[in-house]
Structure 1
Amino acid sequence: MQIQRIFSGAAWESKVGYCRGLRVGNQIYISGTAPIDATGGVFAPGDAYAQAKRCFEIIQQALQELNADLSNVVRTRMFVTDISQWAEFGKAHQEFLGENPPVATMVEVKSLIDPAMLIEIEVDALVNTEDN
């Protein structure tokens, strides 16, 4: 079975040994996606909503590179450093995925790779292989 991998160019990919996204048949897996700006820094430090939106923008681009879109997402996992901001994270989730709601998990974690990051999101998606 053919495996298609895509990379975002983030320095962590080569240091840690992972890819942004992977497609096997009709299954797509997008790695934990942090709120990174165009220069590799943390996007919108302290802003839970803006960081979640940025994660979904990066995820959306990765899905497109794998011939899919947000409507194909079937599961999201949100790792957050402050669960009390759940509504801000959830608002971004609803805006990007509300028309085709996936199953979702949000859990609080002690920390992420950079202390300024408030959220990291990973997704799984399924595509109709007859269409793609």
Structure 2
Amino acid sequence: MGRNRQAVSSGSPLEPQIGFSRAVRAGDYVAVAGTAPIGDDGSTVGLGDVYAQTVRCLDIAERALEGAGASMADAVRTRIMLTDVTQWKEAARAHGERFSAVRPVTTFVEVSRFIDPAWLVEVEIDAVVG
């Protein structure tokens, strides 16, 4: 890794298996990978509940940002991926609770599925520190 590059792990067993980091900081830029609603015990949080799953995704992403020396206030872009985009308002409610003062650019997209069919949403965040 370059001397200005810092990788942050969330402890997911998938990280070494797949070969990815939860977040990477390169200089002032921080990218948080697609973050699923996984509990500390490895189970899916908020089964069937887009809002609860989005909150969990944002909690994990926030910890990753903090591990890279950033915060939610540094977010410049978020991506919300849903298996059913008609439920976007539930994801938007959770997003708005965290970002109403920050107002990063954001995109909501529908995807066909995630690795685990119980996951209804994943979140990505890009941030610039400073």
Q: TM-score, normalised by structure 1?
A: 0.95
Shift of 1:35: 0.4
Q: Distance in 2 between matches of 1:14 and 1:41?
A: 18
Partners of 2:10 and 2:64 in 1: CA distance: 8
CA-atom RMSD, angstroms?
Answer: 0.7
Give the share of equivalent positions with the same residue, in percent: 41
Distance 1:111 1:54 in 2: 18
Query: What is the DSSP-based 3-state SS (H/G/I as helix, E as strand, rest coil) of the residue aligned with 1:78?
Result: strand
Q: Distance in 1 between matches of 2:8 and 2:67?
A: 7
The answer for the alignment partner of 1:107 in structure 2 is 109
Task: Determine which of 93, 97, 122 is the counterpart of 2:124.
Answer: 122
What's the counterpart of residue 64 of structure 2? 62
Deviation of the 1:68 alpha carbon: 1.0
Residue in 1 that maps onto 2:53: 51
Q: Which residue matches 1:7?
A: 9
Query: What are the superposed Cα offsets for residues 47-100 of structure 1, whole Å, 9 maximum, x if unpaired?
Result: 000000000011111111111110000001111001111100000000011111
2:18 to 16, 23, 26: 16
The CA distance in 1 between the partners of 2:118 and 2:47, in whole Å, is 5
Amino acid at match of 1:53: V
What is aligned with 1:90?
A: 92
1:34 aligns with 36
The letter of the residue matching 1:49 is Y
Shift of 1:120: 0.5
Secondary structure of 1:50's partner? Answer: helix
Q: 1:8 Cα shift?
A: 1.0
Structure 2 gap ranges (5+): none
Q: TM-score when scaled to structure 2?
A: 0.96
**Following superposition, which runs of at least 4 residues in structure 1 exceed 2 angstroms of deviation?**
none
- Equivalents in 2 of 1:91, 1:44: separation in Å? 15
Q: Secondary structure at the match of 1:106?
A: strand
- How many angstroms does 1:34 deviate by? 0.3
